[in-house]
Amino acid sequence: MVRAEQGLETVRFRPLGDRDVVAIAEPHLRFQHQSETHWLLHLESNIRLDEIVTVRMIVRVMPTMSKSTPKAAIIADVKASLGELRCLGSERLVRLGISMTQLHVMHMLERHGELPMSRLAEMLDISMSAVTGLVDRMEERGFVERVRVPEDRRIVLARVTASGRQMLDGVELVRTELIERVLDELDPSQMAAVASAVTSIRTALQAASTDPGSGIGHTHEHLRRD
């Protein structure tokens, strides 16, 4: 077990067999594992975390949460289900040759259009040096390109390329296929219940996004600001 308080770089494992299970606590299953420092696990041979690794079993380690109320139970179940979907989706993204961070950047550029590098760093909440390194690697892959503003060549804009859009289309197809696989496991009555619940959730999300106290609408406005 690799727990949150342990640095992955400090952990060593014996050679793993086909049926061995390695559990990594939840904080290590976030965007940090897609960061630009990949050499985190030291085994008999180094493993890059964005290489394809066959997962025999997933052991979920989650904080204890009281399920004494229906809302608490729903929250716990939704978080667990979304976590499983992220794991499945991440494996397929690796096969496509893209990290979650790179996908997030391309989605932002596709939605908002070309953006100054400084603005991109602000929206990602990272430093200019970090965003420069990230875009460098994405540019090498052909996903994005940088151009200078003719009127002020000090300003560098990042934008998605045709190859980047093609990758986004491929990711969207993978996501659709994944959702279809999940829905195929449901019977007609369960499908109807899911459809009704999704409609209700979308309505609730729209209401929450207009609530000044929720912070959701503020976040959306922040991302839309030019």
Q: What is the pTM of this model?
A: 0.54
Sorted by sequence, the CB contacts under 8 Å of residue 208 that are 6+ apart come out as 214, 216
Least trusted range by pLDDT, from 10-14, 37-41, 141-145: 37-41
Least trusted range by pLDDT, from 36-45, 105-114, 118-127, 152-161: 36-45
Write down how long the chain is: 226
**Mean pLDDT value across residues 74-80:** 85
pLDDT in tens, 21-48: 444 444 333 333 333 333 333 333 333 3
Q: What local confidence, expressed as pLDDT, does residue 151 receive?
A: 81
Q: DSSP letter for 141, please.
A: H
One-letter amino acid at 12 equals R
Mean pLDDT of the chain, nearest integer: 71
Closest CA to 7 of 50, 36, 48, 42: 42
User: Does 161 have pLDDT greater than 90?
Assistant: yes
Name residue 9's beta-bridge partners: none
pLDDT higher at 47 or 154: 154
Residue 43 contacts residue 15 (beta carbons within 8 Å): yes
User: Does 142 have pLDDT greater than 80?
Assistant: yes
Q: What local confidence, expressed as pLDDT, does residue 132 receive?
A: 93
Q: What local confidence, expressed as pLDDT, does residue 85 receive?
A: 76
User: Does 82 have pLDDT greater than 90?
Assistant: no
Residue with tokens 């259009």: 113
User: Does 195 have pLDDT greater than 90?
Assistant: yes
% of the chain with per-residue pLDDT over 90: 30
Domains and CATH numbers, the chain: 1-61 (no CATH), 87-185 (1.10.10.10), 193-226 (no CATH)
What SS3 state is found at 159?
strand
Both tokens assigned to 151: 């009127």
pLDDT higher at 92 or 83: 83
pLDDT in tens, 116-131: 999 999 999 999 999 9
